[in-house]
Every structure is written in structure tokens, then in C-alpha cells.
Amino acid sequence: MSLEKVRKINGRSVYVPGNDIDTDRIIPARFMKCITFDGLGEYLFYDVRKDLDGNDKNHPLNEPRYFGASVLISNANFGCGSSREHAPQALYRYGFRAVIAESFAEIFFGNCCALGIPCVVATQESIKSLTELISVVPETEISIDVVNSEVCAGDLKFAVNIPSGAKEALMNGKWDPIEELQEAEEPIAHLVTELGYLKRS
């Protein structure tokens, strides 16, 4: 059974500015001592959102006008550093369902895709126009069209880049490789039998 086909994401957005935002900033390592990923959203961007006493600092995610945003916008090389999958999991658990940035670290991009989170690449100019719009009208709904590689927000429309492999996987509900293996259990078992030199225990 295929997973949800991710063809269009709609929602409000929030801009977290900066180049080279690494996975340790997205989810500090001390919060990775968990058995499951449940609850990781609470610690998203923790060290830049909270002071030593746990009080809110000046950060976009702490601004009430952006509460409930499901699309994260940032700049170049987002998700660099450690390859920890906890970073995309923290984004997902917080409520983000898509990320728009100038570029992404490759492993982070793959980990996001495996959660059904489209990471789309936009030009610096397009991101500037988009963030200026949501700064003035934060309730603006953004539509990320995976099929047509396009983002719309109000009167603003621009093309984005989504690598073909990720695009096909998202569109066809084939974005979770573990799910794919589980679905293919019978064909795999049949192939093992056909090969002959592999013995099943």
C-alpha cells in the first residue's frame, strides 16, 4: 500500500534567516537521547529560541504571528553538518511539512524526503520576495506545487527546483524506503528462491 502522495503542500510560513544552518542548531545534540522521535519538536532550534532559563529569546518561531506555520523558509546550505535524522524529525514533529531554501545539505535533503517533507530550492531573489511578503502579511498561505515545481503566495509565483528522483518518490507515495522494502517482501522472497544459491533460514 503506497504512502500519501505528496503533490501539493499548502500552509502559512515562517522565515528563519541564515546560511549554513546546521543540524546541531536545528536540534542540539543533548536532546537526541531519546528512544523514539516523539517530542523532538519541542526542542527545535532550542539554543537560539531559549535562554539558559528556558525563556523565549527573539526568534521567528517565538513570534505569535507565525504560530502554526507549516512551511519553513531559509537560505543557503540548510541542514549542513552532522547527518543526524533527528533534525528532519524535529521539523516534522514541530509541524513543518515543507522547506524552501536556496540549497540543502544532501543527507539532510534525503532524510527529509524519507519523511515526505519536500525540500524545494528557490533563488535568492525569489526567497527575498517571499519573505518580504510574509513579513507584511504573515497570514499569507503558500502553495508548494511539487508536480509543477512551483510556489505560489498571493500574487507571487516562482519556479523551484526539486530533484527528479525525490519528486517522483513524493508524487507517487514512494518516499519511505523502509515502507518500500516491507511492501516488496514477497517479491524479495521469490527472488531469493529463484537465485538458488541463497538459502533462507
128: in domain: yes
> What are the grid coordinates assigned to 173, written together?
507515495
130: in domain: yes
Range of the domain at 161: 8-175
pLDDT in tens, 22-38: 999 999 988 887 777 88
The number of beta carbons lying within 10 Å of the beta carbon of residue 7 is 16
- Classify burial at 120, counting beta carbons within 10 Å of its beta carbon; exposed 0-12, middle 13-18, buried 19 or more: buried
**For the chain, how long is the longest CA-to-CA vector?**
66
109: in domain: yes
80: in domain: yes
3-class DSSP state of 56:
strand
CA angle 37, 4, 153 (to 5 degrees): 90
Q: What is the CATH number of the domain that holds 104?
A: 3.20.19.10
Note the pLDDT of residue 83: 84
- Torsion of Cα atoms, 154 then 159 then 163 then 166, to 10°: 20
190: in domain: no
113: in domain: yes
197: in domain: no
Note the pLDDT of residue 186: 67
How distant, in Å, are the alpha carbons of 24, 27, 86, 93, 96 from that of 90? Answer: 11, 7, 6, 5, 9
3-class DSSP state of 59:
coil
Q: What's the structural domain count of the chain?
A: 1
Note the pLDDT of residue 84: 84
Which parts of the chain sit beneath pLDDT 50? none
2: in domain: no
